[in-house]
Amino acid sequence: MLMAQSQIDGKEMLAIRGTESSGLVGSNGITKDHVDIIKGHGLVRDVITEENISRMDGNCVIIGHNRYSTAGKKKSGINCVQPFVVYTAMGTVAIAHNGELVDAKQKRKEVLHEGVGLSTDTDSELIAQMIAKAIALNVKCQYGQDIGDITRELAVTMSALNMSYSLLVMTFDRLYAIRDPFGNRPLCVGTVLSPDGNPEAFIASSESCAFPANAKFEFEVKPGEIVELSKKGIKSVWQMKPNTPLAMCIFEYVYFARNDSEIEGQQVQSVREECGKTMALEDDLEADIVGNVPDSSLSAAIGYAAQSGIIYEPVLHRNSYVGRSFIQPNDLMRQNAIKLKFGVLKKKVQNQRIVLVDDSIVRGNTMRTLVKMLKDAGAKEVHLRIASPPVKFPCFMGINIPTNLELIAAHKTIPEICEYVGADSVRYLSVDGLVSSVQKGIERVANFSPGHCTACLTGKYPVSIDL
């Protein structure tokens, strides 16, 4: 998740404290060559502590970045933790990047052959060096008065990039929120209001749920747009000429975004409920109760129940005190760990025909154990309903999907999956069902014609991929 804040009057910025981020970089708006940095691996609460957060006091611009723990391990090492900070001829620049450059390999080669050494294999450093180069070329003529303004250099850099990126860029006194022309990753801006309704700070984030409660959601950054946030306010400073189709990642709705976020004008929770409804419409099952795998799939289960008329009943308890840190060395132990994590509400499931709703299946091991637990507890039938289509293709735009071999949908047919997990039937939401569940709401609320990337579900990529 990306997060940035530009503050108006220098008061202590509580809102950003504890943002879900494992890297924070701040600047005081005066010193061009100094930034304050907090970085670390692990959960935000372990990295951004009371002790070190005070380093951010007095900073007028701050950007942060947090990698989801679901993300892959490809790029490790503490110096790969974003935001990436680079000293340039005009002062310090920090950047945070969501997405993945599909042509990173070629771009990297170009930079190296220009004589620039790279310290990491991250896209963020690549983009940072492109910006640094643009700055050095312009440095003499450009910085007459408004030294922190690098709009022109950013526009030059964007023109040399392909997809996919949402960027937050910080100079010593301002922030830039940038979205690639495909709009592949979400990015939105808002205003933090004081108790009496005056703007206190301007913020940008890849997820609106990161906005503090006293923030007003302003708008989503448009595909190909650069939006500047500074103490003067929010300003659209550049718009790339549109020549690409929209390709907003549909997987954000299915998996990454939080229920309390808004994307393309919709509450994410509502989209998930809608997916449940669509799934019920595509279905013709007779059953006694609809249950879910807590906690994530409650919305889809409620949607399914509402549409199908089958009553919703909790069937599983999730034990929050059993941590993920429990790494299990063998299959028996893993099964046991799942049994400790979930408890069956036995009295609810005895002699019932259950529609068990979940958001997705990865390897199928958890589901297999859950189905067994439900049947051991007396369930008559367990019908598995997955509120998203099967993921079958790799994503080159930044979503870290497990490799093909791990994904059960990539190497098993649905009957095979059904047999593997021991369910009485298995159905996934169709791709069309997902797209309509997502776009239906947008059409109602938004004044644009939506377009979504479904590459991981269909194999149709928005750009040609040269591996």
Strand partners, 392: none
Collapsing DSSP to helix, strand or coil, 71 comes out as coil
Instruction: Check binding of 71 to a second copy (CB under 8 A).
Output: no
* Residue 242 CB, nearest approach to a second copy (Å): 28
First-last CA distance in the chain? 26
Q: Within positions 311 to 340, which residues make up the interface with a second copy, using CB under 8 A?
A: 312, 314, 316-323, 325-327, 329, 332-333, 336-337, 339-340
Each as own residue / partner, the long-range contacts of residues 72-78 (CB below 8 Å, 24 or more positions apart, any chain) are 72/400, 74/400, 75/120, 75/121, 75/122, 77/120, 78/39, 78/40, 78/41
Residue 188 assigned ligand-binding role: no
Q: Within positions 182 to 211, which residues make up the interface with a second copy, using CB under 8 A?
A: 209
* Residue 84 CB, nearest approach to a second copy (Å): 8
C-alpha closest to that of 162 among 104, 242, 112, 246 = 104
* Residue 239 CB, nearest approach to a second copy (Å): 26
* Binds a second copy by CB under 8 A, chosen from 71, 78, 160, 465: 78
Q: Within positions 138 to 167, which residues make up the interface with a second copy, using CB under 8 A?
A: 139
Angstrom CA distances, 174 to 34, 178, 238, 351, stand at 14, 13, 15, 62
Based on CB atoms, which residue is closest to a second copy, 10 or 77?
77
Query: How many whole angstroms separate alpha carbon 423 and alpha carbon 420?
Result: 8
Based on CB atoms, which residue is closest to a second copy, 128 or 401?
128
Q: Do residues 192 and 215 make contact, with C-beta atoms less than 8 angstroms apart?
A: yes
Q: Within positions 413 to 452, which residues make up the interface with a second copy, using CB under 8 A?
A: none
* Residue 82 CB, nearest approach to a second copy (Å): 12
Residue 80 assigned ligand-binding role: no
Residue 456 assigned ligand-binding role: yes
Based on CB atoms, which residue is closest to a second copy, 139 or 414?
139
**Tokens linked to 106:** 């070629």
Q: Among 38-46, 144-152, 277-285, 450-458, which window interacts with a second copy (CB under 8 A)?
A: 38-46
C-alpha closest to that of 380 among 353, 346, 357 = 353
Residue 249 assigned ligand-binding role: yes
Q: Within positions 256 to 315, which residues make up the interface with a second copy, using CB under 8 A?
A: 258-262, 266-267, 269-270, 294-295, 298-299, 302, 312, 314
Q: Within positions 215 to 234, which residues make up the interface with a second copy, using CB under 8 A?
A: 217
Q: For residues 292, 296, 302 and 305, what is the CA-based torsion angle, rounded to 10 degrees?
A: -30
* Binds a second copy by CB under 8 A, chosen from 9, 114, 406, 416: 114
* Residue 400 CB, nearest approach to a second copy (Å): 17
* Residue 314 CB, nearest approach to a second copy (Å): 6
**Strands 381-386, 425-428: parallel, antiparallel or unpaired by DSSP?**
parallel
Query: How many whole angstroms separate alpha carbon 415 and alpha carbon 407?
Result: 15
* Residue 374 CB, nearest approach to a second copy (Å): 9
**Tokens linked to 275:** 């997916």
